[in-house]
Amino acid sequence: MNILDWNALESDGQARALTRPVQAVAAQTRESVAGLIAQVRADGDVALRAISARFDGVVPESFEVSEAEFAAAELAVPAELRIAMQQALDRIDVYHRAGMAQPYSVETAPGVVCEKMIRPIGRVGLYVPAGSAPLPSTALMLGVPARLAGCSEVVLCTPPRKDGTADPAVLVAARLTGVHRVFKLGGAQAIAAMAYGTATVPSCDKLFGPGNSFVTEAKQQVAQDGAAAIDMPAGPSEVLVIADAGANPAFVAADLLSQAEHGPDSQVLLLSDDAGLIAAVQDEVEKQVALLAREDIARKALDTSLLIKVESIEQAFVISNRYAPEHLILALREPRDWLPQVEAAGSVFLGDYTPEALGDYCSGTNHVLPTAGAARAYSGVSVASFQNQISVQAATREGIANIGPCALTLARAEGLGAHANAVALRLGVAP
């Protein structure tokens, strides 16, 4: 990891330090994905079989997971894991349920009632990656809010394993959350199938979930085409830790590494006003990384990661808000006192005993979060992500008598005569 002194940098050096290592999507990826999508649109299931054979090295006998496979998955998953998934699910449910938007109604003028109705998005598609590791936790993070929203059909795609089956833990997690149908499909082909539909995969109104660069590019392309909405743009995972002199270097190092092991393009930043802490964290990272099963991946991520010395914790928050990290860990003595300083981040972790791993799995918050600075204008997945909010208005004769003249004046000012006429007719006046 490289150490930088923030205040010794010129402004372009500072900007460079906060630039994500990811580059723009390669033109080649964009074209490949466009080609795969076109193939699925043209040839449906036939294309899905051809593409799966090419990329996954296997064509499942049936893409849809059967009852027999779900039953086998239940037997294959150890009891301890099943219980842990249920516990995580329960906490995710409690947190997400508490934040659900409520319908409301307000009289904006005598005889004019304006309301908000909340409706589930009809059919939603969830993507659960299974690259270097299958992620049953992602099935929980997407399935729970989909169920709370009341979506009538929840579809989940996850890549097949080499033997053509799906990861049992992902299947059990999907069933625990009430997902309706699971397909063994990965990559851009899964996204294309859920967006446009094939004979076996239904077309969905909105797609959710993380994925590799092909998956995220495919989500962007189907959204751009208007085929399906998507949860958010996605990039590699990232964490920013703000630590003071009192932080525990071993804890901070462990948190940095739990981000770094996600992938070689993960980004990890530490900001501290204490040079001693930074040095101690660096030592700890070296010690801990050598013990990791995913040491190679973590080391690659660390190559582009930074330990930054700042002049004060206040300055650290200015930098953090500019960077807008997906995960923000406050390894500070009175972390709650600093919360008002947080303007842009996906999810925040307070104090020495709240490692990011808790939020990744089971504190209750969602782990599908905005990356690559998107936290400046996007929020993580919530129940609202699976709902439409529809406004409703009802005016009585008295109501339109009260507000109609205002509408008439504005319609005339905008030169929209038919608008004026629609109001004037009800008022019995000239438009």
The verdict on whether residue 127 carries a ligand-binding annotation is yes
Run of H or E residues at 394? strand 387-395
CA 273 to chain centre: 31
Q: Output the six-digit token pair for 120.
A: 């589930």
Residue 57 half-sphere exposure, CB side, CA atoms within 13 Å? 3
**Helix/strand/coil percent split, the chain, to 5:** 50, 20, 35
327 is annotated as an active-site residue: yes
Binding of residue 260 to its own copies (CB under 8 A): yes
Among 190, 257, 281, 307, binds its own copies (CB under 8 A): 257
Residue 51 vs 268, nearer CB to its own copies = 268
CB of 232 to its own copies, least distance (A): 9
Binding of residue 104 to its own copies (CB under 8 A): yes
How many residues bind its own copies (CB under 8 A)? The answer is: 129
Q: Which of 281, 214, 212, 274 is nearest to 245 (CA)?
A: 274
Long-range contact list for 335-343, CB < 8 A, 24+ apart?
Answer: 338/242, 338/313, 341/314, 341/317, 342/317
CA distance 176 to 363: 18
Among 290, 336, 337, 429, binds its own copies (CB under 8 A): 336
CA distance 48 to 183: 11
Binding of residue 210 to its own copies (CB under 8 A): no
Q: Which residue has the tokens 């996204």?
A: 191
CA distance 185 to 132: 16
Residue 55 vs 95, nearer CB to its own copies = 95
CB of 136 to its own copies, least distance (A): 7
Q: Which stretch binds its own copies (CB under 8 A): 47-55, 119-127, 269-277, 310-318?
A: 119-127
Query: Per-residue x/- marks for its own copies, 395-424, CB under 8 A?
Result: xxx-xx--xxxxx-xxx-xxxxxxxxxxx-
Q: Which stretch binds its own copies (CB under 8 A): 9-17, 59-67, 68-76, 392-400?
A: 392-400
Among 40, 176, 306, 348, binds its own copies (CB under 8 A): 348
CA distance 119 to 386: 9
With contact defined as beta carbons under 8 Å apart, do 107 and 113 qualify? yes
Q: Which of residues 159-178 bind its own copies (CB under 8 A)?
A: 169
CA 120 to chain centre: 18
The verdict on whether residue 367 carries a ligand-binding annotation is no
Residue 5 vs 74, nearer CB to its own copies = 74
Among 66, 119, 287, 429, binds its own copies (CB under 8 A): 119
Residue 211 burial (CB < 10 Å; 0-12/13-18/19+)? buried
Among 13, 35, 57, 122, binds its own copies (CB under 8 A): 122
The verdict on whether residue 341 carries a ligand-binding annotation is no
Q: Which of residues 297-326 bind its own copies (CB under 8 A)?
A: 298
Q: Output the six-digit token pair for 84.
A: 């842990």
- Reading phi first (left if > 0) and then psi (alpha if -120 to 50, else beta), residue 185 is in beta
Residue 4 vs 171, nearer CB to its own copies = 171
Question: Residue 167: what residue type?
Answer: D
Q: Which stretch binds its own copies (CB under 8 A): 53-61, 62-70, 92-100, 192-200?
A: 92-100
With contact defined as beta carbons under 8 Å apart, do 158 and 166 qualify? yes
CB of 347 to its own copies, least distance (A): 4
Q: Which of residues 350-389 bind its own copies (CB under 8 A)?
A: 350-366, 372-380, 382, 384, 387-389
Among 38, 71, 339, 429, binds its own copies (CB under 8 A): 339
Instruction: Provide the annotated active-site residues.
Output: 326-327
Binding site per annotation, positions? 127, 189, 212, 237, 259, 262, 327, 360, 414, 419
